[in-house]
Structure 1
Amino acid sequence: MKLTAQQLEQFDREGYLFFPGQFKPGEVRTLTDAVPELYSRREAYNVREKGKDAVRTNFAAHMYSEPFARLARHPRMVGPVMDLFDEEVYMHQFKINGKMAFEGDVWQWHQDYGTWLNDDMMPTERAMNVAIFLDDVNEYNGPLMFIPGSHKKGVVEAKHDLTTTSYPLWTVDNDLIEQLVERAGGKNGGIVSPKGPAGSMILFHSCLVHASVSNLSPWNRVAVYLSLCAVSNHIRRFKRPEFIAHRDFTPIEMLPDDCLLEPYPVDLPWKNGLPASALQTSPVPFDEMKRAA
C-alpha cells in the first residue's frame, strides 16, 4: 500500500491519516478472538486499570501471540509508515489498549514522543503511531481525540504524571492545550476524533497531541497501538523494561497481504514466558555501556 501525494500532504498538514475499514471483518476476528486469553494472563506485560481488574494495556503481544506477530508485519500497516520515513522501520512499542466498557479510564493529553524522548532517549521524532480499531469506535466509548497540526509545534513541555492513572505519562499542561486547540480552529475543528468500524486504522505523528476520555458506555473500545521507529532513530537508553520499549532494532520484514487469514510462520521468542532480560533496565545510555565494556 503506497500513500498518494495528497495523503502525504495531508499528513504533513494535519499530523494524521484515517483509513476507515482498512482491515476486513475476518481479519479483525482473527485478532479479537485472541484478546481475552491474552488479557487473562497475570503477567507484567498486562497493566490493569487503577484499582480495577480490567486491562488498560497489554504490551508486546507480537512477541508471544501468532495473530499479533503477523499483524506486526502487515504491509497495509508497515508500508505507509515506510513511505512517510523513506526508511526501514523497527517495532519500538506494541500495545493492545483495552478501554473496557464502564471501566476504561482516561488517557491524558500528551505527545508519545515526549515519553520516548524523556524515558528512552529516542533522538528525533522519526517514529510513528498506528492505531487499529478492534471494536467499533463511536462518540460514547472513549475515542481518540487529536489537535490537528499540533505536531508542527515540535516537542512541547510536559510533566511526568505518576498518579492520575495506573500508567505514567508525560502530560501536557491545560493552558498549552487551550492554546493549541485555539490555534487549530477552536470550536471549529480544533479537536477532531476519528470514529469508525472495527478494522479502521489511523496513522499519527509522534508529536501530535492526543488524548481520550473514560469509557462510560456499555461498549468496549479495544485497539492495537503499534509504534514504528526509523531504524536509524533507535532508542539510546533502556530505562524501561524491554516489553515496553523494545531493543531489537532489526528492520521489519513484511508478510504477504493475506497474513491475518493464512498461518504464515512467525518467530515468537517470548511464547514460553518473559525472559529475565525483558525485565532488566538501565538508566545509562547503551553507547556508554558499550564504551565501558
Structure 2
Amino acid sequence: MQLTKAQREQFDRDGYLFFPALFSPQEIATLTDEVPHLYAQDRPENVREKQGGAVRTNFAAHLYSAPFARLARHPRMVLPVEQLFGESVYMHQFKINGKNAFDGDVWQWHQDYGTWLNDDLMPTPRAMNVAIFLDEVNEHNGPLMFIPGSHRLGVLEAGHDTTTTSYPLWTINNDNIRTMVEKAGGRDGGIVAPKGPVGSMLLFHSCLVHASSSNLSPWNRVSVYLSLCAVSNHIRRFKRVEWIAHRDFSPIECLPDDCLQQDYVVDLPWENGTPPEAARTSLERLEETA
C-alpha cells in the first residue's frame, strides 16, 4: 500500500489520514475473537481502569498472540509509514486500547511524542501511530479527537499527569488546548473526530494533539495501535518496562497482504510468560550508535 501525492500533502497539512473500512470484517474477526482471551489473562501487560477493573490497555500482544503478531507485520499498516519516513521502522509500542461500554475512561489531551521524548529519550518525532478500529467508532463511544495541523507546532509544554487515570501521561493544559482549537478553526473544524466502521484505519503524526472522552454508551470502542519509529530514531533510554517501550530495534519485515486470513508462522517470544528482564529499567542514556 502506497500513499498518493495528494494523501501525503494532506498528511503534511492535517497530521493524520483516515481510511474507512480498509480491512474487511473477516480480517478483523480474527483479531476481535482473540481480544477477550487477552483481556482475561493475569499479565502485567494488561493495564486496568481505576474503577471497575476493565482493561484500559493491553500492551505487546504481538509478542504472545499469533493474530496480533501477524497484524504487527501487515503491509497496509507498515508500508505507508516507511514511505513517509524513507526508511525501515521498528515497533516502539503495540497496544490494544479498550473503551468498554459504560466503563471506558478518558484519555487527556496530549502528544504521543511528548511521552516518548520525556520518558524514552526518542531523539525526534520520526515516529507515528497507525490504528485499526476493531469496533465501529461513532459519536457516542469515545472517538479519538484531533486538533488538525497541531503537529506542525512541534513538541509542546506538558505536565506529567499521574492521577487522572490509571496510566500516566504527559498532558497539555486547557488554556493551550483552547488556543490551538481556536486557531485551527474553533467550532468549524478546530476539533475533528474520525468515525467509521469496523476495519477503518487511522494514521497520525506523533506530535498531533489528541484526546478522547469517556465511553458512556452501550457500545465498546476497541482499537489497536502500532507505534512505528524510524530505526535510526530508536529510543535512547529504558526508563519504562519493555512491554510499554520496546527495546528491539530490528526493522519490521512485512508478511503478505493476506496475513490476517492465512496462518503464517510468526515468532511468539513471550507466549509462555513475560520474561523477567522485560521489567528491568534504567535511567541511564544508551550510547549512541552509528
**Fold shared by both chains (TM-score > 0.5):** yes
Write the distance in 2 (CA, Å) between the matches of 1:68 and 1:2.
22
In structure 2, distance between residues paired with 1:248 and 1:189: 39
Q: Which amino acid aligns with 2:168?
A: P
Alignment partners' CA distance in 2, 1:176 and 1:26: 42
| Distance in 2, Cα, partners of 1:161 & 1:50 | 14
Aligned residue number for residue 59 of structure 1: 59
Alignment of 1:37-48 (within 5 A): 37-48=37-48
What does residue 263 of structure 2 align with?
Answer: 263
Deviation at 1:273, TM superposition (A): 0.3
Question: Number of residue pairs matched?
Answer: 289
Residue 21 of structure 1 is matched in structure 2 by 21
SS of the equivalent of 1:95 reads: strand
Q: 1: CA distance between counterparts of 2:100 and 2:35?
A: 12
In structure 2, the partner of 1:193 is: 193
Q: What is the rounded CA distance, in whole Å, between the counterparts of 1:216 and 1:51 in structure 2?
A: 14
SS where residue 178 of structure 1 aligns? Answer: helix
Letter in 2 for 1:164: T
Structure 1 stretches of 4+ with a deviation exceeding 6 A read: none
CA-to-aligned-CA distance 1:141-177 (integer Å, 9 cap, x gap): 0000000000000000000000000000000010000
Give the SS at the match of 2:76. helix
Distance 1:167 1:156 in 2: 20
Q: Deviations over 1:57-88 (max 9, x none)?
A: 00000000000000000000001111110110
Structure 2 matches for 1:1-293, cutoff 5 A? 1-287=1-287
Question: Structure 1: where are the runs of 5+ without partners?
Answer: none
1-structure distance, mates of 2:52, 2:82: 38
Provide the rounded CA distance (Å) in 1 between the counterparts of 2:54 and 2:89: 32
> How far apart are the structure 2 equivalents of 1:137 and 1:144?
9
| Structure 2 length-normalised TM | 0.99
Seq. identity, %: 74
Gaps of 5+ in 2: none
Give the secondary structure class of the aligned counterpart of 1:286. Answer: coil
Distance 2:22 2:207 in 1: 23
How big is the shift at 1:242? 0.3
CA distance in 1, matches of 2:165, 2:84: 33
Offset of residue 52 of structure 1: 1.9
Secondary structure in 2 matching 1:202: strand
* One-letter identity of the residue aligned with 2:266: V
1:176-216 CA distances to partner (integer Å, 9 max, x unpaired)? 00111011000100000000001000000000000000000
Where 1:235 maps in the other structure, the secondary structure is coil
RMSD over aligned Cα atoms: 0.9
Q: Measure how far apart 1:7 and its partner are.
A: 0.2
Distance (Å, rounded) in 2 between the aligned partners of 1:257 and 1:28: 13
Give, in angstroms, the shift of residue 51 of structure 1. Answer: 2.6
> CA offset at residue 286 of structure 1?
1.9
C-alpha offsets along residues 223-257 of structure 1, whole Å, 9 cap, x if unaligned? 00110000000000000000000000000000000
Deviations 1:28-50 (A, max 9, x none): 00000000000001111000001
